[in-house]
């Protein structure tokens, strides 16, 4: 019940101001956000990769309202790539981007987002790595898939995300798997209406497994974005049945969530990539993490009370 309420709050400016100013917020946010600046995140990248894990880096931010903010988002990623250059990690450190942060919702937004993300993908390729386009709410996806297809003409390693809770996703998965794409499959983190998405957790899990099968049997590179132990076990079994070797798919989990599992899967020889978010505009990202696990909200409220 709490999840949808928190997701609705994630779009409220009033709540954003309240949560951002609340005592104790920083401490709880720090569990999910690796730092505020590129200088803070680089040592974390170095440490994570030294432990045999891989990373995908997300400069937090979304739903921007001016073109200047969109250009600033592009520049933040270019600055990050500049810092990654000297680490020489290749695909062990890739980037995740949200097109709404690159101007997708502004006037002429589709072209603007494409124009802004292209130099980031080019710069990533120049240091031997790549970019994955995150999936946001369902109204943005046709544009995201079109941008993905356009970028793949020059940079075929560009990845994208699909969400198991959407009815449309099995069809998207078939197209992407046949096209040999890198695809991250996740359950889905936004508040979506019953007209486009499964609302029931068990239905979402079943859809996830159907999509996993499509990806595993296809020609692409599946990236399994989930902390769900059942889905991880099913992935291993489906990969085995599809005859995929350990380096022909990867697991991905979020920074700060089930960190022991990151290490366990990597020790078993799996590719394990940690989605590492950093930056100052963390509100939307943070609220989705609270919505996924209401116990996080209790922890947050408790930390506010003890700080008072």
Q: Point out the residues that are catalytic.
A: 134, 184
Name which of residues 214 to 233 contact ligand FAD (CB under 6 A): 225-228
The residue (of 124 and 189) whose beta carbon lies closer to ligand FAD is: 189
| Residue 65 DSSP SS3 | coil
Stretch that binds ligand FAD, among 117-125, 232-240, 241-249, 251-259 (CB under 6 A): 251-259
Question: Cα–chain-centroid distance for residue 282?
Answer: 13
Single out the residue of 292, 294, 303, 304 in contact with ligand FAD (rule: CB under 6 A). Answer: 292
Does residue 227 sit in helix, strand or coil?
coil
Phi, psi of 221 (to 5 degrees): -115, 105
Residue 123: closest CA among 161, 97, 144: 97
Beta bridge pairs of residue 59 = 278
Nearer to ligand FAD among residue 85 and residue 210 (C-beta): 210
Residues 39-78 close enough to bind ligand FAD by CB under 6 A: none
> Which of 102, 289, 297, 300: binder of ligand FAD (CB under 6 A)?
289
Interaction of residue 300 with ligand FAD, rule CB under 6 A: no
Interface stretch with ligand FAD, choices 45-53, 116-124, 168-176, 290-298 (CB under 6 A): 290-298
Closest CA to 146 of 110, 182, 95: 110
Strand, helix or coil for residue 149: helix
What CA–CA distances, in Å, run from 218 to 55, 165, 238, 298? 24, 20, 12, 42
Figure out which of the listed residues 74, 152, 182, 187 binds ligand FAD, where binding follows CB under 6 A.
Answer: 187
Measured CA to CA, the distance from residue 198 to residue 116 in angstroms comes to: 33
The residues in 119-178 that bind ligand FAD, with binding defined as CB under 6 A, are 134-135, 161, 163
State in angstroms the smallest separation of the CB of 256 from ligand FAD: 8
Residue 271's H or E segment, with its range, is: none
Strands 131-133 and 272-278 come out as: unpaired
Min dist CB 6 to ligand FAD, Å, is: 11
Site residues (CB under 6 A) for ligand FAD?
134-135, 161, 163, 186-190, 225-228, 252-254, 257-258, 275, 289, 292-293, 296
């Amino acid at each position: 019940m709490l999840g949808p309420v928190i997701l609705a709050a994630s779009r409220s400016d009033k709540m954003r101001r309240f949560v951002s100013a609340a005592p104790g917020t920083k401490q709880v946010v720090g569990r999910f956000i690796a730092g505020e600046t590129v200088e803070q995140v680089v040592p974390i990248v170095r440490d994570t990769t030294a432990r045999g894990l891989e990373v995908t880096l997300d400069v937090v931010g979304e739903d921007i309202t001016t073109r200047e903010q969109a250009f600033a988002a592009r520049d933040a990623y270019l600055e990050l790539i500049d810092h990654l250059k000297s680490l020489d990690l290749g695909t062990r450190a890739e980037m995740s981007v949200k097109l709404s942060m690159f101007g997708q919702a502004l006037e002429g937004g589709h072209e603007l987002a494409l124009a802004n993300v292209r130099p980031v993908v080019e710069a990533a390729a120049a240091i031997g790595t790549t970019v994955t386009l995150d999936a946001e709410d369902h109204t943005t996806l046709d544009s995201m898939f079109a941008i993905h297809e356009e970028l793949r003409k020059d940079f075929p390693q560009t990845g994208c995300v699909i969400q198991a809770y959407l009815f449309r996703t099995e069809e998207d998965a078939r197209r992407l798997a046949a096209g040999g794409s890198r695809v991250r499959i996740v359950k889905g983190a936004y508040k979506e209406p019953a007209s486009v998405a499964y609302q029931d957790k068990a239905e979402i899990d079943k859809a996830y497994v159907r999509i996993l099968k499509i990806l595993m049997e296809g020609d692409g590179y599946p990236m399994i974005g989930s902390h769900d132990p059942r889905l991880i076990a099913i992935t291993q079994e489906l990969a085995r049945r599809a005859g995929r070797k350990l380096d022909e798919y990867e697991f991905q989990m979020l920074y700060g969530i089930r960190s022991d599992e990151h290490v366990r899967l990597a020790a078993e020889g799996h590719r394990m990539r940690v989605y590492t978010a950093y930056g100052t505009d963390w509100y939307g990202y943070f609220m989705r993490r609270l919505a996924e696990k209401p116990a996080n909200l209790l922890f947050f409220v408790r930390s506010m009370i003890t700080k008072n």
